[in-house]
Structure 1
Amino acid sequence: MLPLSTKDAKMKNLLFIFSLIMAQVLHAQEVTTSYFLIRHAEKADSSKDTNLSEKGLERAAKWDSILQNISFDAVYGTVYKRTQQTAQPTANRNHKDIIVYNHKDLDISKFKKETLGKNVLIVGHSNSIPGFVNALIGQSKYKEIDESVFGNLYLVVIKGDSITDYLLQF
């Protein structure tokens, strides 16, 4: 067997930690809701509603690979092609349609009620995902994502009145 590169070893460690977190979540007695939030992958150009680039399509497939052990009850994306294309591999694997949400007009209380007890993937934008996480946790903790960053995975777990959040960087 070939030795793992440093990058592969880091990824393996992150996935192990992620698996431990999810094991705790899945074995909870109370109703548990888990939100997985990511920014869309790399876009082809700077036009308003562009497709993903080749690198972006590869990243979308990689996100699905990273999340392959999670059974999603719902997959959300904004109306833009880049979020839809980022979410599509995971939606396909889970036999789900992508539910379009308006990141500029989100009723967080209604959203939480609609997704109660579910595992939910949410794909958005560098300027909206941190705000979405902040709304879910009820704190102003996360700042906008730098335009060059595409590897942040935010995990918000709500169990009863307890809210836990994580930021994993791939």
Structure 2
Amino acid sequence: MKRSFTALLRLLLIIGCLGFGKSFAQTTVWVVRHAEKDVSDPKNADPPLSDAGTQRAKDLDTYLADQRVAAIYSTKYKRTQATGAPLAARAGLTIISYDPKDPGALAKEVVAAFRGKSVLVVGHSNTVLELVEAFGGKRPVKALSDEDYDYLFKVTVADNGEVKTASVQYGAKHRDVPVTGTTNR
């Protein structure tokens, strides 16, 4: 009996060493639209955040404070940069610019460079859902309107190919946002 137990323990140790019990790393990508922009000058193509937007950027920092964000990606515009700025300042990060016209390249870069970590990507109303899809997620909502500033999308990419998406509301809300979650692949 003792010999059988010892043999079983050895077998389990060998299986463990072969990696059968290996867990998969998960990369968490937070995708958000920039916060409310200042619309007082309709001719300004690159407006800063409004007061409400500045507060929302602070709310985003608060919401993600315990997520150990390792990198922040943003387009080159003032409003996207300013949305990630409070989190960047607190975490000691430099915001990395990306080309919103190539979400696939961004997704490959993020997953390769930040495997197993959390990353924030700040985009625009017409790009954030495409970003979710570029990371392999399903759109948690059909579309974003010009008033939708309070969605935060979480895309979890596991090494085994499993992708989960969810949407949450953060900061001041202007309507009820259902919390959703889906698993893809």
TM-score range, shorter chain: 0.7 to 0.9
- Structure 1 CA distance, aligned partners of 2:68 and 2:35? 21
The one-letter amino acid paired with 1:82 is R
Counterpart among 73, 84, 87 of residue 87 in structure 1: 84
Identity, % of aligned pairs? 33
Query: Over aligned residue pairs, what C-alpha RMSD do you find?
Result: 1.8
Distance 1:72 1:138, change over 3 A: closer
Aligned match of 1:35: 29
Shift of 1:139: 4.6
Q: How many equivalent pairs are there?
A: 143
- Structure 2 CA distance, aligned partners of 1:125 and 1:34? 19
- Structure 2 CA distance, aligned partners of 1:140 and 1:152? 12
Aligned match of 2:119: 120
TM-score (norm 1): 0.78
Unaligned runs of 5+ in 1: 1-27
Distance 1:66 1:110, change over 3 A: closer
- Structure 1 CA distance, aligned partners of 2:166 and 2:137? 14
Aligned match of 1:8: none
Question: In 1, are the aligned partners of 2:57 and 2:84 still within 8 Å (CA)?
Answer: yes
- Structure 1 CA distance, aligned partners of 2:141 and 2:114? 22
- Structure 2 CA distance, aligned partners of 1:133 and 1:122? 10
- Structure 2 CA distance, aligned partners of 1:72 and 1:111? 12
Q: How big is each residue's C-alpha offset from its partner over 1:2-56, in whole Å with a ceiling of 9 and x where there is no partner?
A: xxxxxxxxxxxxxxxxxxxxxxxxxx93211000111100101242111001111
- Structure 2 CA distance, aligned partners of 1:143 and 1:157? 19
Aligned match of 1:25: none
Distance 1:71 1:145, change over 3 A: same
Matched, 1:97 2:91: no
Shift of 1:110: 3.7
Q: How big is each residue's C-alpha offset from its partner over 1:47-66, in whole Å with a ceiling of 9 and x where there is no partner?
A: 21110011110110111111
For 1:147-158, list aligned pairs within 5 A. 147-158=146-157
Distance 1:132 1:142, change over 3 A: farther
- Structure 2 CA distance, aligned partners of 1:111 and 1:93? 21
Aligned match of 2:143: 144
Aligned match of 1:61: 58
- Structure 2 CA distance, aligned partners of 1:78 and 1:152? 18
For 1:12-31, list aligned pairs within 5 A. 29-31=23-25
Unaligned runs of 5+ in 2: 1-21, 171-185
Shift of 1:114: 2.4
